[in-house]
Structure 1
Amino acid sequence: MQTPFVATFTIFVLAIFIGYHVVWSVTPALHTPLMAVTNALSSIIIVGAVLQTVDIGGQTITLTSVLGAVAVFLASVNIFGGFAVTSRMLEMFKKKKK
């Protein structure tokens, strides 16, 4: 049984709306731990996307495998960018050497 498109799309839009409000209401002190959690979630996305990118049903390239490859790329950019931002923010909290 497939879920109707409207119900799935409604859940997607609500997730965007709630995610936006949750992230923008985070205080700056909690930003670095939030970035670490975001990186962890992106790594889970990569695992699922890699599983979709492999050979499915005897075909080498399907729409699912292409979308999986795009998801791997976008999640990788998010992970590496997140680590860079987290590293810069942690540098701000270190004491400066004289």
Structure 2
Amino acid sequence: MEHMVQAVDPFVFRLSIFVLAVFVGYFVVWSVTPALHTPLMSVTNAISSVIVVGALLAVGVSLVGDDNGPLWARGFGFVALIFASINIFGGFLVTQRMLAMYKKKQK
């Protein structure tokens, strides 16, 4: 008698990973002391530049032969590129203002 093993649906698998990541992220960020919260968020904004690389790939790289990929993929890639760019530049501005607070004033 054969034993059939069914694989988990990829959508359910990815959704469960996403939910676990949300819980882990929530508890990691909220367990940080308030003094370190702003630098943590600034580094998180800088790390999000990886999204820009993925968005550039979705927008500009030819996926199959001479085809540029589906229109919806390029559209979502463009939107991700815009949002990630805003996030990165905003993170750098917040970091710059935060570091300016700790600069000694000249008398």
CA RMSD, aligned part only? 2.4
Specify every segment of 5 or more residues in structure 2 that has no aligned partner in the other structure, as ranges.
1-7
Is the radius of gyration larger for structure 1 or structure 2? 2
% identical aligned pairs: 59
Q: Give the count of matched residue pairs.
A: 98
Runs of 4+ in 1 over 6 A off after TM superposition: none
Q: Post-superposition shift, 1:46?
A: 0.6
Moved more, 76-85 or 22-31: 22-31
- Whether 2:54 is the aligned partner of 1:48: answer yes
Contact in 2 for aligned 1:35/1:86 (Cα 8 Å): no
Contact in 2 for aligned 1:42/1:76 (Cα 8 Å): no
Specify every segment of 5 or more residues in structure 1 that has no aligned partner in the other structure, as ranges.
none
- The 5-angstrom pairing of residues 81-92 of structure 1 reads 81-92=90-101
Counterparts of 2:106 and 2:9 in 1: how far apart (Å)? Answer: 59
Counterparts of 2:42 and 2:9 in 1: how far apart (Å)? Answer: 32
Compare the two structures and name the one with the higher helix fraction: 1
- Whether 2:105 is the aligned partner of 1:96: answer yes
Contact in 1 for aligned 2:46/2:91 (Cα 8 Å): no
Deviations 1:16-55 (A, max 9, x none): 2211221232224434542443233211111121011124
Give the TM-score, by structure 1 length.
Answer: 0.79
Contact in 2 for aligned 1:49/1:69 (Cα 8 Å): yes
Give the TM-score, by structure 2 length.
Answer: 0.73
Number of the residue aligned with 2:78: 69
Flag the 1:3–1:67 CA change in 2: closer, same or farther, 3 A. farther
Counterparts of 1:24 and 1:73 in 2: how far apart (Å)? Answer: 28
Counterparts of 1:97 and 1:53 in 2: how far apart (Å)? Answer: 48
